[in-house]
């Protein structure tokens, strides 16, 4: 298709694979990063032709730089969104996620952008509900942010997507909008800057995870997620659409078993035992990070990605392959020593 597209959060894990794919498919990419001092490092990791990629300094919480980044762009992939490195007040995470999405939309509309794709999350779909008893959450479902135990991150993704859709309904005439809602993102890494989901595989391999709490997640490969974004950007007639990007829901204990079975001696530090629920709850009383997952013990939040397959012809690869490719990449790059 080609043209010029803005990818926000250009130093991030998902954005990196998307930028590579866009350039491969003939696009010129503008990318935002918060600090231009990181440009040489990010360029080196991406390895795309310099003339096909331009960087602009822009922050989710300030107007500076957004107009320049949007200039000449017909499409936007708004991938940037904060993720907590540690427990923080809800508003400290919600504000930049919501206001950043609205800021990007406003500048996109002013620049005459035709298609805006928001990277949301299954966090905006599958939380705050009663258990589905074996059913699957779909794009019709929305997280209830008023339900007890909803984390700041889940609230931020839900509120940001809702706010973006409300803004489009009031102000977006002439610009198409859709969202991509991925599950836990795994796959090979380009550098030490990768998704939080990958830290779980890292901790399995290096032995710092003592055992498996009874929690799980849907898995999507970052390479397939980049392809889903590309199709959402290029396919006509998607205004208002929402696409879940996820493979099968699996307990992390199963992921550990896959690593042991397929990596042999490299996975010798991967735990074999399960941590009882009562132990996780006890630790959660003193450890805020663990406390955030207590509500997920035994919960299955499986999602249905058949809409993306039906409309866009998209699907993710085998989850076991993604887990193993993640591990092999961490080992090859020296991020994990085995």
**CA distance linking residue 46 with residue 40, whole number of Å:** 10
Task: Tell me if residue 266 is catalytic.
Answer: no
Whether residue 183 contacts residue 197, with contact meaning beta carbons closer than 8 Å, is answered with no
Catalytic residue among 87, 157, 269, 272: 157
Beta-carbon contacts of residue 96 (< 8 Å; ≥ 6 apart): 60, 61, 81, 82
Task: Output the six-digit token pair for 36.
Answer: 């231009």
- As a whole number of angstroms, the distance between CA 264 and CA 44 comes to 32
Q: Say if residues 40 and 15 touch (Cβ distance below 8 Å).
A: no
Distance between CA atoms of residues 235 and 51, nearest Å: 26
Q: Is 212 left (phi over 0), alpha (psi -120 to 50) or beta?
A: beta
What's phi and psi for 192, nearest 5 deg?
-80, 0
Which residues have a catalytic role annotated? 157
């Amino acid at each position: 298709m080609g043209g010029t597209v803005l990818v926000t959060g250009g130093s991030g894990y998902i954005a990196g694979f998307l930028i590579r794919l866009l350039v491969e498919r003939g696009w010129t990419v503008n990318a935002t990063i918060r600090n231009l001092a990181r440009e040489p490092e990010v360029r080196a990791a991406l390895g795309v032709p310099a003339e096909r990629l331009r960087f602009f300094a822009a922050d989710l919480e300030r107007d500076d730089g957004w107009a320049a980044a949007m200039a000449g762009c017909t499409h936007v992939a708004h991938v940037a969104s904060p993720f907590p490195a540690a427990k923080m007040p809800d508003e400290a995470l919600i504000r930049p996620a919501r206001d950043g999405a609205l800021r990007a939309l406003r500048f996109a509309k002013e620049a005459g952008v035709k298609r805006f794709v928001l990277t949301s999350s299954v966090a905006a779909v599958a939380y705050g509900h009663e258990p589905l008893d074996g059913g699957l959450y779909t794009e019709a479902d929305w997280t209830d942010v008023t339900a007890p135990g909803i984390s700041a991150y889940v609230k931020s993704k839900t509120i940001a997507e809702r706010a973006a859709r409300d803004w489009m309904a009031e102000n977006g005439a002439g610009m198409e909008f859709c969202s991509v809602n991925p599950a836990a993102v795994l796959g090979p890494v380009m550098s030490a800057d990768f998704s939080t989901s990958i830290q779980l595989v890292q901790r399995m391999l290096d032995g710092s995870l003592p055992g498996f709490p009874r929690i799980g997640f849907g898995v999507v490969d970052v390479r397939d997620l980049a392809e889903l974004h590309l199709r959402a950007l290029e396919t006509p007639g998607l205004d208002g659409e929402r696409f879940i990007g996820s493979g099968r829901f699996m307990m992390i204990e199963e992921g550990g078993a896959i690593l042991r079975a397929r990596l042999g001696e490299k996975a010798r530090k991967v735990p074999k035992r399960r941590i009882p629920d009562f132990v996780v709850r006890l630790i959660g009383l003193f450890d805020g990070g663990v406390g955030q997952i207590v509500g997920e013990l035994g919960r299955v939040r499986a999602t249905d990605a058949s809409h993306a397959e039906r409309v866009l012809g998209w699907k993710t690869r085998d989850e076991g392959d993604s887990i193993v490719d993640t591990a092999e990449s961490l080992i090859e790059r020296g991020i994990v020593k085995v």
